Chain A
């Protein structure tokens, strides 16, 4: 099983600043990597697939990068609605999620 490890567990950021979230795979997943946002009490929402392709309707302030085992989600100019938990997911070899990074207001 491919293990996905996200860091940090919690990220404290001020509104308007940039958040950088990391996701590491225990073995290569090529670019078969997605990012999801989950707000409290809501279902997850797809942000990024293919490591860097934004899903329809996702603002340009969300960007994904990386390949093989190291991936990054960058959120610029953080808005109030961006404070949430973010998960990475690999789909290269079956499907596994990271444990999540909570982005909280500093």
Chain B
């Protein structure tokens, strides 16, 4: 069974940093590109970042580019999101997701999310 479990969410002050993790199991992690998607409480989905299976291709949404970095450790079946210079508008549930092999770009499995709250 495919499982994605995010962790690392917390309350942090504006300007602070946080590292999210996503532990993957039930599939061959290094075969898949992985995404981060976020959702502010009561709002819609916002794509954040993608990393290719080998880390060779990385993309970010405009609102986080230059502040967030994405990485993966295929030996540990883990995905990471390093978030720096956090702003109140970064407050959201952060989901990791596995990219669909059949249709690169869609996300076929999602974790349950981890909540990041940026507040003074």
Cβ–Cβ contact A97 & B105, under 8 A: no
Q: Please tell me if the beta carbons of B106 and A89 are within 8 angstroms of each other in the complex.
A: yes
Contact code string A52-95 (vs B, CB < 8 Å = 1, else 0): 01010000000000000000000000000000000101011011
Number of interface residues of A (CB under 8 A): 25
Question: Chain B interface: which size bin?
Answer: 20 to 34
Interface of A is mostly: loop
Point out the residue from B44, B61, B108, B112 that lies within 8 Å of A87, measured CB to CB: B44
Cβ-defined contact, A94 with B110, below 8 A: no
Decide if B11 is an interface residue (CB 8 Å cutoff): no
With A1-B62, A94-B59: A46-B44 Cβ-Cβ less than 8 Å: no
Q: Check B103–A53 contact: CB distance below 8 A.
A: yes
Q: Is A104 an interface residue (CB 8 A)?
A: no
| A residues whose Cβ falls under 8 Å from a Cβ of B | 1, 32, 34, 36, 38, 42-46, 49-50, 53, 55, 87, 89, 91-92, 94-100
12 contacts between A and B (CB under 8 A): A32-B103, A32-B105, A44-B37, A44-B45, A44-B110, A49-B102, A49-B106, A50-B102, A87-B45, A91-B106, A94-B61, A97-B46
